[in-house]
Each structure stands twice: as structure tokens, then as C-alpha cells.
């Protein structure tokens, strides 16, 4: 009887200890703590992001115009058109947020770079909207965008921190800067993508042209290669707006950009673009250009970038003439000090067939001279 009682007592104590241990384990499980649940919620709902940059520069030009002492030839590209001067770019602010399947981007700039990129003049310091759009992604494979956004055409962009050279190419300056409209981006597996969109007239936030532009893109990322084939076409003006006839002015552009990472420290880039305008289906001219890029990451804080570009205007259909062209060579170094990138740059442009006359005929007349300049720029990103 006593033996049976002792066995029962031991069994009871053992079972009680096991229940107590399970209870302690349950109360110390980190998965169900309120703090961890809050962290998971924050991961699902990322916070508001505000980033931007500020840029300024000095440009010293060497090439003088024949017969005009003290007058120097400028480059025919955007943002650095003044000669022998200190200049400012802009202060640029980018606000963005994505929650679940929806998101938005709003970007504004204050300064000459911003206004020139939006069709203004370098002396205009008013603020401009660079991008303003909303997005909806019903799945990981599809994203719809509505509003005003940077162009998908070309290798270089408006924002100085994203370009390895501070001065920009002729292809960038003559290509579109932005579009206003709607587009759909598709992920076609892990290696391929596509985009199709409908937009207002090129570089127009409010369209005054009947009819729209159509744009499309095919992209791929294979190993170290990233390539994008772009097409843009549409009506640029109604007959009578820019012509003396009733024919409509239309444009067509096909553009290829590619970047190949040769190694962790060396990459090559390519941009080839062909643009044409036409009246009632008949070509009236345009341009063709090729730009090659090479970038070496010498260290975590130093880079060296080279750009070579050949750009020429194309004649109207059936016209056999020597059209203006330019060979542009640019060498840039980049030195990072915290969030500041200091960019010393040397650039040499050699024009032919009156190329520089195209940009300022009233002042310079026909000039086939070369343009040589040194640029020192500072770009602070935050």
C-alpha cells in the first residue's frame, strides 16, 4: 500500500514538472512577442523615403572663335553650355514610397539644370517637377505606371549622380528627357523584360498635339550583360504648327543601350540611336549617333571613366549633302569623400561641316573649330 502510494506520488511530481517546463517554454517563445510582430509589420510597410542631390561646377574653355577675341566656343550639349564660368546645377529632391501593391514617386528640382531638363532656360531658377507618378503592381510580373517619368531611351540620365561623366553626351541632349502618360512593365522570367506605353508629345507634360506617342522596350540581363532595345514614335506637331503645309510632323527613334561588366572593377557601355522626322511619311532629316563608355573602379573611393561619341545630323530623304557631325572625347575621374563625389573632367569636341553653327548661328557663324574645356564638378548625394 505504501509502495503504491510512493509510486503515485513520484509520477504526479514528474508530470507536474513537465507541465511547468512546457508552460515556461510557451511564455518565452520569441515568435509571439508583440515586439517581433511589430517588426514584421514594419517590414511589410516600408517607411517614406526622401533622397536627393546637389551639384555645382566650374568650366574653363580654351577654344576661341576666330576673329572674336574673348568669345569661346561652348559645347552643344545640355547643362554646361556656358563658357569660362562657375555654375550651379540644381538641388534635387526625390520622395517615394511603396506599400504592398501600390506606390508613388515625386521628384522636384530647383536650379538651372532642372529647368533646362524640363524645357526651360539655364537662367530660370523656378522649381520644376522632374517626375510625378503612381504605380500599381497586381503581381511580381506586372507594374502599371501613370504620370510623368524619366525617359526609357538612352544611356545617360538627368540626375548627375547616376552618370559617370559630369558633362552629358549629344545623344542624351538630343534624345527625349521625359514622358507623360501610362506604361506597363512586364517581367518575362528572370532574364527578360518588356515595356509598352502611350505618352503625350515628347518632353511635354501637357500635350497640345492630337494623337499620342507609342513607346516599347525589350530588355535582358544575361550574366554580366544588361541590354535594352527601345522604340519611340508618334506625332510631334499638327500641320501648320511647325510647317507651311497641312502635313503632320512625326518622329521615330530606335535606340540600343548595353552595359557589360567585364570584371568587378571594369565595365563597358554602349549607346546607339537613330532618330528621324517626317512630313506625311517622307523623311526630312534627323540624327544618328554612337557612344562608347569605359569605367574602371580603381578603389572604393576612386573611378576613371572614358566616353567616346560620334554624332551626326542626317539629311532629308533624297538629299546628298555633307551634314554636320562631331567627334567628342571625354575623360573623367571620380573621387568620393563621404557622400560628396568630386569630378575633374577633360573634354575635347571636334566638329565638321559647320556643326557648331547649328547651335548658335547668330553669334558664331560657321565654325569648324574644336572645343576643348576642363570641368571640375562636385555632386553631393543624400
- Tell me the per-residue pLDDT of 87-107, one tens digit each, with 9 for 90 and over: 999 999 999 999 999 999 999
Give which of 376, 371, 375 is closest to 350, Cα–Cα.
371
Residue 203 counted as domain residue: yes
Phi first, then psi: give them for residue 322, nearest 5 degrees. Answer: -85, 105
> CA 337 to CA 92: how far, in whole Å?
20
* CA pair distance 138, 58, nearest whole angstrom: 47
CATH value at residue 127: 2.40.160.10
Residue at 171 is within a domain:
yes
Q: In this predicted model, which residue has the larger pLDDT, 365 or 327? A: 327
Mean predicted confidence (pLDDT) in 16-34: 41
- Indicate the number of domains in the chain: 1
In a domain, 305, yes or no: yes
pLDDT at residue 35 above 70? Answer: no
Q: Is residue 303 part of a domain?
A: yes
In a domain, 273, yes or no: yes
Q: What span, in angstroms and rounded, lies between the C-alpha atoms of 63 and 276?
A: 31
pLDDT at 340: 98
65 domain-assigned: yes
Asked if residue 21 is part of any domain, the answer here is no
| 26 CB-near residues (< 8 Å, 6+ apart) | none
Among residues of the chain, what percentage have pLDDT more than 70? 80
Alpha helices in the chain (DSSP H): 2-27, 34-44, 112-117, 170-174, 361-364
Q: What percent of the chain has pLDDT over 90?
A: 65
Is residue 154, in this structure, part of any structural domain at all?
A: yes
Q: Which three cell numbers stand for residue 121?
A: 532656360
Predicted confidence (pLDDT) at residue 119 exceeds the cutoff of 70: yes
What's the domain range around 111? 54-381
Q: What is the pLDDT of residue 282?
A: 85
* pLDDT recorded at residue 319: 85
Min mean pLDDT across 71-75, 81-85, 154-158, 229-233 is at 71-75
Amino acid at each position: 500500500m505504501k509502495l503504491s502510494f510512493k509510486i503515485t506520488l513520484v509520477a504526479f511530481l514528474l508530470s507536474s514538472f513537465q507541465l511547468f517546463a512546457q508552460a515556461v517554454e510557451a511564455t518565452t517563445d520569441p515568435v509571439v512577442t508583440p515586439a517581433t510582430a511589430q517588426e514584421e509589420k514594419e517590414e511589410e510597410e516600408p517607411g517614406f523615403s526622401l533622397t536627393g542631390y546637389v551639384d555645382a561646377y566650374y568650366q574653363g574653355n580654351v577654344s576661341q572663335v576666330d576673329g572674336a577675341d574673348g568669345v569661346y566656343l561652348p559645347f552643344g550639349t545640355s547643362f554646361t553650355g556656358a563658357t569660362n564660368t562657375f555654375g550651379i546645377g540644381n538641388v534635387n529632391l526625390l520622395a517615394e514610397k511603396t506599400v504592398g501593391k501600390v506606390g508613388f514617386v515625386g521628384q522636384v528640382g530647383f536650379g538651372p539644370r532642372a529647368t533646362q531638363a524640363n524645357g526651360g532656360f539655364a537662367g530660370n531658377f523656378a522649381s520644376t517637377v522632374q517626375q510625378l507618378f503612381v504605380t500599381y503592381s497586381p503581381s511580381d510580373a506586372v507594374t502599371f505606371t501613370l504620370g510623368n517619368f524619366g525617359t526609357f531611351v538612352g544611356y545617360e540620365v538627368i540626375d548627375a549622380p547616376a552618370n559617370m561623366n559630369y558633362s552629358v553626351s549629344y545623344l542624351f541632349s538630343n534624345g527625349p528627357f521625359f514622358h507623360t502618360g501610362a506604361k506597363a512593365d512586364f517581367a518575362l522570367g528572370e532574364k527578360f523584360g518588356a515595356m509598352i506605353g502611350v505618352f503625350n508629345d515628347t518632353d511635354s507634360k501637357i500635350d497640345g498635339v492630337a494623337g499620342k506617342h507609342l513607346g516599347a522596350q525589350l530588355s535582358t540581363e544575361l550574366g554580366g550583360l544588361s541590354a535594352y532595345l527601345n522604340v519611340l514614335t508618334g506625332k510631334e506637331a499638327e500641320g501648320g504648327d511647325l510647317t507651311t503645309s497641312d502635313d503632320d510632323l512625326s518622329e521615330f527613334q530606335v535606340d540600343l543601350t548595353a552595359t557589360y561588366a567585364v570584371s568587378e572593377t571594369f565595365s563597358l557601355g554602349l549607346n546607339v540611336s537613330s532618330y528621324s522626322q517626317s512630313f506625311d511619311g517622307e523623311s526630312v532629316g534627323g540624327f544618328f549617333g554612337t557612344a562608347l563608355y569605359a569605367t574602371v573602379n580603381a578603389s572604393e573611393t576612386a573611378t576613371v571613366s572614358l566616353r567616346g561619341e560620334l554624332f551626326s545630323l542626317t539629311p532629308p530623304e533624297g538629299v546628298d549633302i555633307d551634314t554636320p557631325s562631331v567627334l567628342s572625347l571625354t575623360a573623367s575621374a571620380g573621387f568620393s569623400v563621404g557622400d560628396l563625389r568630386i569630378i575633374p573632367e577633360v573634354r575635347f569636341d571636334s566638329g565638321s561641316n559647320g556643326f557648331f553653327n547649328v547651335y548658335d548661328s547668330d553669334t558664331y557663324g560657321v565654325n569648324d573649330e574644336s572645343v576643348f574645356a576642363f570641368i571640375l564638378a562636385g555632386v553631393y548625394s543624400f
